[in-house]
Each structure stands twice: as structure tokens, then as C-alpha cells.
């Protein structure tokens, strides 16, 4: 059977669950935003792109996260956040994505006086404007930062509650250390109430396998990255038994040196075990990738078939935090597209 081409993957209707707003803005859009603020007047796109894309010599996750500080200084207004969200939605549509969950950390955009609610509503406004323009659905996940104290994270979650119906889930992001779940466990009930707003956690992005098990025990329905659980039969079994979906991000796992290369990604292992796995970009700009490219790497290095492409995207939409009508519509598209 011939390997799937980029064109075939791009045409395929896809769903994405793990995409960070601040890591996915296109350089020309950030330049527009900055110039609107009287900044970056003399930057050319090549210089700007170098500041926004992860360096080839990044040593670890902390190194990988460095470009975000540069971007975030320009995401401190409602106009900027709305424009950024519209841009990411537009990219996803062009990438053949039919449903996407965009995540961001509100506290990182409050440096010039915006409230948590204002940041959320601005991002939602950008998502909704793109939905009115393109054939794509979007929802929002709010991230607490693992660099903040538990009380600060709980405050963010509390202030996020009921702000907008497009806010469908919460997460914790940032540098990962062993035992972080217990440090923040008391913050989760602040927002997760009757499954209206649901929990997905970054866990096992670096070599912290125990964090994956702790996240599951804390009620996380999905695991962001989870690559540290690879080969750990106890944790893999727990994910399988609980019906946990892994939000896989292969390219960023290679860039943070959690994996040596794309061929080392446990794509076939997890799917053949029956594990719910979907593939994601994590950060389109910072990782210089698209969802089409992520799946192409799985086809090229991991023998992904068209039916596995279909299964991964069904996993994504079925484990998404979308409402049932969106889930049904997108799942039908994925199920029936070019069925052989």
C-alpha cells in the first residue's frame, strides 16, 4: 500500500485537541498586531520568525518554551487576543481541520490590566469570527500555569467559570516537575463541575511518567503528551482501562528531546493496544509544523495507514469537549470521507 501523501492528509477532515494560542500565531500576524501597538516597525519577517520558532539547539522543555516570552508581550490587549485566535483558526481551516480546541493561559495576558474574563472573551470572539467565515468549529481551554502557586491557579479557574460557553476545559501548562498534580489538585474543583467544564492535563511531557498516573487519578479525561508513559505497562494499562485519550505531539517531543526522532514515537504500539490516541501540533509556529505535517511524519516514519488516520481523528472528536451535535457532525465527516 503506497504511503499517504501530504495532499491526501491535508484533504482529510481532521480534529485537533492540543494547540497553544501563543505558540501558533503566524509571524506576519504577530507583526501586524505589534505594529498596531506602535512596536516592531523595523522587524522583517525572517528576523521575527527566528524569534518565534524553537531553536535547533534547544536542549529540553525549558529551552523549547523560550520563544513564548517574546510573543506574549504583544498579547496584552483584547484586539491582539482576538486577532491571534482568528489567525490560529484560519490556519487550522487551511490545514483541513474541522474542529479545534485552542488553549491559552489568561494570566500571561493580564500584564497591562486585562481581567481574566476579558482575555477569555477576546479569544472567544476571535474563534467565533473565524467560525462565521470558515467551515470549522472551535472551542477554548484555559491553562493554569505550573509556575504559579495553587491559590493563583484556583483563582484563575474560579474567575473563568461561566465566562463563556465556548470555554469547555481547563489544563495546567508550563515546565513540568514530578508531583505537580498533587500540588494543584485542590484547584480543579473550582471549575470542574458536573462535567460542564472538563479536565485535561499536560503530563509526562518530559521524563515524569508518574505524573501521568497522578493526572488520571485526579480526574483528567485526557493527557497532553504522555510520552513518558511509553513502555510503562502499568500506566499504559491505566490509560486504557480509564478510556483516556492521549493528545500526542510528536514533533515537539522530538524538539524537547523526550524522543530522539519521529520513528521513536509509539504510534503503532499505542494504537495496537487499543489506546485512544490523537495527533496534534502543540505549537504550529514554535514547532514549525501543521497537523497535516504531524500526520505525514507518522505515515513516513511509523507506517500510518489511512484507516489509522481516520481512527486518530475519530479519537480526537469523540474525546473532544465539544457538544454532541458538533461531535456527531464532525465524526460523520471523518467516518465517511473517501471510505474505500
Query: How far is residue 54's CA from residue 258's CA, in Å, rounded to a whole number?
Result: 15
Query: How far is residue 22's CA from residue 322's CA, in Å, rounded to a whole number?
Result: 22
39 is a catalytic site residue: no
Answer left, alpha or beta for residue 174, where phi above 0 means left and psi between -120 and 50 means alpha. left
CA neighbours within 13 Å on the CB side: how many for 142? 35
Q: Is the dihedral of CA 335, 137, 325, 278 positive or negative?
A: positive
List all residues 6 or more positions away from 271 whose beta carbon is below 8 Å from its beta carbon.
277, 308, 311, 312
Looking at residue 133, what DSSP letter applies? H
User: Which cell numbers in the block locate residue 3?
Assistant: 504511503
Query: How far is residue 143's CA from residue 108's CA, in Å, rounded to a whole number?
Result: 10
At 230 the three-state DSSP class reads coil
> Exactly one of 205, 221, 236, 247 is catalytic; which is it?
205
Cβ atoms of residues 311 and 267 within 8 Å: no
Q: Which residues are annotated as catalytic? A: 205
Amino acid at each position: 500500500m503506497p504511503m499517504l501523501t501530504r495532499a491526501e492528509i491535508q484533504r482529510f477532515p481532521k480534529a485537533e485537541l492540543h494547540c497553544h494560542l501563543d505558540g501558533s500565531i503566524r509571524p506576519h500576524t504577530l507583526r501586524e498586531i505589534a505594529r498596531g501597538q506602535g512596536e516592531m516597525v523595523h522587524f522583517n519577517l525572517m528576523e521575527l520568525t527566528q524569534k518565534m520558532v524553537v531553536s535547533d539547539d534547544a536542549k529540553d522543555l525549558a529551552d523549547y518554551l523560550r520563544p513564548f516570552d517574546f510573543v506574549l508581550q504583544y498579547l496584552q490587549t483584547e484586539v491582539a487576543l482576538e486577532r491571534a485566535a482568528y489567525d490560529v483558526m484560519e490556519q487550522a481551516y487551511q490545514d483541513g481541520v474541522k474542529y479545534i480546541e485552542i488553549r491559552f493561559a489568561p494570566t500571561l495576558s493580564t500584564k497591562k490590566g486585562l481581567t481574566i474574563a476579558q482575555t477569555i472573551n477576546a479569544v472567544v470572539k476571535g474563534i467565533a469570527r473565524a467560525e462565521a467565515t470558515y467551515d470549522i468549529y472551535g472551542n477554548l481551554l484555559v491553562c493554569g500555569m505550573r509556575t504559579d502557586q495553587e491559590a493563583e491557579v484556583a483563582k484563575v479557574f474560579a474567575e473563568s467559570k461561566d465566562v463563556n460557553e465556548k470555554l469547555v476545559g481547563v489544563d495546567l501548562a508550563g515546565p513540568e516537575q514530578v508531583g505537580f498534580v498533587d500540588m494543584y489538585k485542590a484547584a480543579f474543583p473550582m471549575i470542574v463541575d458536573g462535567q460542564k467544564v472538563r479536565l485535561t492535563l499536560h503530563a509526562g511531557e518530559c521524563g515524569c511518567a508518574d505524573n501521568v498516573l497522578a493526572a488520571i487519578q485526579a480526574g483528567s479525561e485526557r493527557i497532553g503528551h504522555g510520552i513518558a508513559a511509553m513502555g510503562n505497562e502499568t500506566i499504559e494499562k491505566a490509560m486504557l482501562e480509564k478510556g483516556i485519550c492521549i493528545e500526542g505531539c510528536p514533533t515537539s517531543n522530538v524538539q524537547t528531546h523526550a524522543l530522539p526522532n519521529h520513528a521513536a514515537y509509539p504510534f503503532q504500539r499505542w494504537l495496537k493496544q487499543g489506546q485512544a490516541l490523537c495527533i496534534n501540533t502543540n505549537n504550529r509556529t514554535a514547532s514549525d509544523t501543521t497537523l497535516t505535517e504531524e500526520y505525514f511524519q507518522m505515515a513516513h516514519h511509523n507506517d500510518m495507514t489511512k484507516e489509522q488516520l481516520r481512527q486518530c481523528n475519530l479519537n480526537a472528536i469523540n474525546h473532544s469537549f465539544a457538544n454532541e451535535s458538533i461531535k456527531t457532525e464532525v465524526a460523520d465527516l471523518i467516518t465517511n470521507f473517501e471510505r474505500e
